[in-house]
Amino acid sequence: MQKILYGYDNVAKALEEVGSHRYMLVCDSSFQYLFLKDELKADVVFDQFTPNPLYEQVCRGVDLFNANGCDALVAVGGGSTIDVAKCIKLYCRMDPSRNYLEQELSDSHVPLIAVPTTAGTGSESTRYAVIYFEGKKQSVTHSSIVPDYAVLEPAVLKTLPVYQKKCTMLDALCQGIESMWSVNSTEESMLYSRMAIQGIMNHRHGYIEDNADGDARGIMQAANYAGRAINITQTTAPHAMSYKLTSMYGLPHGHAVALCMPEVWLYMYENTDKCIDKRGREHLEYILEYLGRLMQCDSAYKGLMMFRAIMFELGMTLPSSNDRERDLNILTHSVNPVRLKNNPVPLSEDAIYHMYDKIVD
């Protein structure tokens, strides 16, 4: 059972509650610009990893953790930073002579406190982590890596560049929407999704334009709800389609997934008769109508168009290609079919191709 706390001063409280005597701080290069650097004085600091963390970097973190006799982890940063800390927690009690990715996963019982410095990934409340091994993305999933504490401090969002704020906010909005229509949705996940979408819709202007304290808090809370939602349901087609856009065109994840969202949304709106959700077509149509209302519109279609309007308003541009046909074929065949199983409407290869055809300029 994760504890959600507000205010950076609760990090010390959390460390006291878990009985830590020597914790390791996992942070990225942005940590030096945060006011938290003067508040968190750790004996052991690990920051030697890239934005898309490598398996070998995580291994160095595991070695540092064990060599210094650490008993807890505090992760301060974005999704990649928290993912690194999750993997260190998972691997630190495994056999170091064997590849950690090939070993059976189990709970190390090392306490993990996550302090997100962006509002979008929701990693502080999920059982997922992503690292890269031999150039390939590795999805690490285990219930024990949900951080024991998520400490939300809205003040850290003030130093984010505006474009990063836009991308991470859109990532959270997409998570909320995808979780809402996922075939795995539950009453609990739909509550979290609703809170996420409503929070973003209510606070997005103030957060992006004015950097107001109340709006930053609202967006951070909404992003956390989105993370809690996908922790139950996982993501769907827009996320599945986004990853290759990121690697091919260097787009931040939130930008890439937001480009895919309206195309998938439109396809599902036009093909509800193909619904595979066991709750039936009527359930999907109800969810799409409900999403329209959550987007502050009076119909399913207008909700979709509101999402497009937000993308235009935020200036989120399409990627350009020098060889569209080649790129479209690469993109189409890059989509992981396993990730599409959570989508309530199946996507054929032809449908995916035509969606990318609208995304790539």
Sketch out the chain's domains with CATH numbers: 3-156 (3.40.50.1970), 160-359 (1.20.1090.10)
Lowest-confidence segment of 30-39, 51-60, 212-221, 222-231 by average pLDDT: 30-39
Q: Using pLDDT thresholds of 50, 70 and 90, give the confidence band for residue 199.
A: very high
Strand partners for 113:
74, 149
Q: Which amino acid is at 149?
A: Y
- What residue type is assigned to position 258 of the chain? A
Write out pLDDT tens, residues 216-262: 999 999 999 999 999 999 999 999 999 999 989 999 999 999 999 99
At 323, list the tokens: 């060889």
Instruction: Render pLDDT for 290-303 as a digit per residue (tens, 0 to 9).
Output: 999 999 999 999 99
CA dihedral sign, ordered 131, 136, 142, 146: positive
Cα–Cα distance, 294 to 300 (Å, whole number): 10
Q: What is the pLDDT of residue 71?
A: 97
pLDDT digits (tens, 9 = 90+) for 170-187: 999 999 999 999 999 999
Contact yes or no for 219/199 (Cβ under 8 A): yes
One-letter amino acid at 17 equals E
* Band of pLDDT at residue 158, cut at 50, 70 and 90: confident
| Residue 319 DSSP label | P
Q: What is the DSSP string of 89-132?
A: HHHTTS-TTS-GGGSPP------EEEEESSSS--GGG-SEEEEE
CB 61 within 8 A of CB 54: no
Distance CA 70, CA 22 (A): 5
**Whole-model pTM?**
0.94
- At 334 the pLDDT is 93
**pLDDT beyond 90 at 263:** yes
Q: Which residues contact 354 (CB under 8 A, 6 or more apart)?
A: none
**Confidence band, pLDDT 50/70/90 cuts, at residue 1:** confident
Determine the 3-state secondary structure of 3 from DSSP.
Answer: strand
Does the pLDDT of residue 32 top 90, yes or no? no
- Structure confidence by residue, pLDDT tens digits, 101-119: 999 999 999 999 999 999 9
What average pLDDT does the chain have? Answer: 95
CA distance linking residue 71 with residue 175, whole number of Å: 33
Please return the burial class of 139, using the count of CB atoms within 10 Å of its CB with bins 0-12, 13-18 and 19+: exposed
